């Protein structure tokens, strides 16, 4: 069974999707990554209590790592990229080329970019920490202003309140 809930956050409304055991999706509902609630999904709050609490702590500047079971659906390559994203420390960034090297395909920074763009668990799988080789902010499903906001939060420049 698939459950979902909505959560207001400093970066806009979030849609959380899971099976009651693991989080399958966290989508910003503004920007190009908005998700549609599936037929047969059940609205429920309880399966997302830990995710809500940890996201609130993150936006308040009190959490630097998430401790949640995750089950993103994707190809083996995408899952390797998403795993590598989770290894980028809080407050730091990595380039697409660096991630390509980490997943063993140094010639594929563009493929990493595509996988990064298809990350179904925003914020928790920190695709916002990936930047261009020259240090510039590059595409982000939630928009570059949200990416900058999240990076500023992690740099200690601000705390956002849920």
- Determine whether 127 is an active site residue: yes
Assess contact for 26 and 68: CB atoms under 8 A.
no
Report the DSSP pairing between strands 94-95 and 130-131. parallel
Could you write out the DSSP letters of every residue in 15-66?
EEEE-SSSEEEEEESSSTT--PPPTT-EE-SGGGHHHHHHHHHHHTT--SS-
Catalytic residue among 108, 127, 131, 153: 127
Catalytic residues: 127
């Amino acid at each position: 069974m698939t459950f979902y809930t909505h959560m207001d956050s400093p970066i806009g409304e979030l849609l959380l999707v899971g099976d009651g055991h693991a989080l399958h999706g966290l989508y910003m509902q503004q920007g190009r990554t908005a998700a549609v609630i599936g037929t047969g999904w059940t609205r429920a709050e309880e399966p997302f209590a830990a995710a809500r609490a940890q996201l609130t702590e993150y936006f308040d500047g009190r959490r630097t790592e998430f401790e949640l079971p995750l089950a993103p659906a994707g190809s083996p390559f995408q899952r390797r990229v998403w795993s590598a994203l989770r290894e980028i420390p809080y407050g730091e960034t990595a380039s697409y080329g660096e991630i390509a090297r980490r997943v063993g395909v140094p010639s594929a920074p563009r493929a990493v970019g595509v996988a990064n763009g298809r990350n179904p668990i925003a914020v928790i799988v920190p695709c916002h920490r990936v930047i261009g080789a020259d240090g510039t902010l590059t595409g982000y499903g939630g928009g570059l202003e949200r990416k900058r906001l999240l990076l500023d939060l992690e740099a200690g420049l601000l705390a956002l309140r849920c």
